């Protein structure tokens, strides 16, 4: 079975046109990895979902209910390794932006097969980038037009997204890191972008390895002058970057060290 979809705990894939997810993208999502029914980094994903839910003032869904839905979907799918996407919609309402305080949220669970992942990534630069929005920064809301436009330009494995100041923020589906003289660099995400669950863990591992870590605005030129570049997300883990445009990266020493450590961490 390629995909299993549950809406409010029932196997179906049809959502009402009055659902605010379809009308406005009024919701949040998380994408997790499941290995033998175990959800990797689940607590971090749920914590971020809850943070976004409270910020958007969406009524709560218990962690127990989410886990029951996910378990049901994984059982139906019969996959040992799977991608689990959960979506929390504010719920259904009539036309217009306003909503009742007691609106009942809609929960969706989508279980998919693991995609084929390149062993190395070639990157390009997107012309479509991020607009600064501190209010929505680091919330995984369902309005992803910036990434959609960027993906439409994709001619490589991934592309780098910049902000209004032409500083590097991320790739379309993950965070980006660089290494220069044993210093681990990654962009500051205070004004836009998403701080991924694997990003947080990589920063922690780097500190434990004694690497100097610098989280700061990062220009494209600074990135191109680095020794190593790699990208991260919940599905691919850590993957090395071999090129950005015409720039070739031949070194992966620290990238591979971090990658091997991250592979062993399951929560």
Are 138 and 223 in the same domain? yes
Burial of 138 (0-12, 13-18, 19+ CB in 10 A): middle
Cβ–Cβ < 8 Å for 229, 249: yes
Distance of CA 3 to the CA centre of its chain: 20
Nearest to 77, CA basis, from 12, 10, 3? 3
CA distance 15 to 27: 13
Q: Do 185 and 78 share a structural domain?
A: no
Q: Which helix (H) or strand (E) holds 46?
A: helix 42-56
5, 110 Cβ separation under 8 angstroms: yes
**161 and 251 together in one domain:** yes
- Shared domain for 246 and 126, answered yes or no, is yes
Whether residue 189 sits in one domain with residue 77? no
Which residue range forms the structural domain that includes residue 26?
3-113
- Could you tell me if 48 and 8 lie in one domain? yes
The pLDDT, as a whole number, for residue 1 is 62
Low-confidence ranges of the chain (pLDDT < 70): 1, 267
Which CATH number goes with the domain that contains 11? 3.30.470.10
* 16 shares its domain with 72: yes
> What pTM was computed for the model?
0.93
pLDDT of residue 178: 98
Which residues does 122 contact at the CB level (< 8 Å), separation at least 6?
A: 156, 157, 158, 241, 242, 243, 244
Do 71 and 42 meet the contact criterion of CB atoms below 8 Å apart? no
pLDDT digits (tens, 9 = 90+) for 21-72: 999 999 999 999 999 889 999 999 999 999 999 999 999 999 999 999 999 9
Same-domain check for residues 163 and 251 = yes
């Amino acid at each position: 079975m390629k995909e299993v979809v549950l809406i409010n705990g029932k196997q179906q894939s049809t959502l009402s046109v009055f659902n605010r997810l379809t009308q406005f993208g009024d919701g949040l999502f998380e994408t997790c990895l499941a290995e033998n029914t175990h959800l990797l980094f689940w607590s971090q994903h749920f914590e971020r979902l809850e943070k976004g839910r409270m910020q958007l003032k969406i009524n709560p869904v218990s962690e127990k209910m989410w886990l029951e839905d996910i378990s049901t979907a994984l059982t139906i799918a019969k996959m040992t390794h799977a991608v689990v996407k959960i979506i929390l919609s504010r719920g259904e309402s009539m036309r217009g932006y306003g909503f009742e305080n007691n609106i009942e949220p809609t929960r969706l669970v989508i279980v998919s097969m693991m995609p084929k992942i390149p062993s190395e990534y070639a990157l390009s630069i997107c012309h479509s980038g991020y607009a600064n929005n501190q209010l929505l920064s680091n919330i995984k809301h369902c309005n992803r037009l910036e990434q959609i436009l960027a993906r439409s330009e994709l001619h490589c494995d991934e592309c780098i997204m910049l902000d209004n100041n032409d500083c590097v923020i991320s790739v379309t589906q993950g965070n980006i890191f660089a290494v220069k003289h044993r210093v681990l660099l990654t962009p500051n995400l205070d004004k836009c972008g998403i701080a991924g669950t694997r990003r947080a863990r990589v920063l922690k591992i780097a500190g434990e390895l004694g690497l100097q870590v610098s989280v700061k605005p990062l220009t494209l030129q600074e990135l191109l002058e680095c020794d190593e570049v790699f990208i991260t997300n919940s599905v691919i883990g850590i993957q090395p970057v071999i090129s950005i445009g015409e720039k070739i990266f031949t070194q992966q020493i620290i990238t591979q060290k971090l990658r091997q450590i991250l592979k062993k961490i399951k929560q």
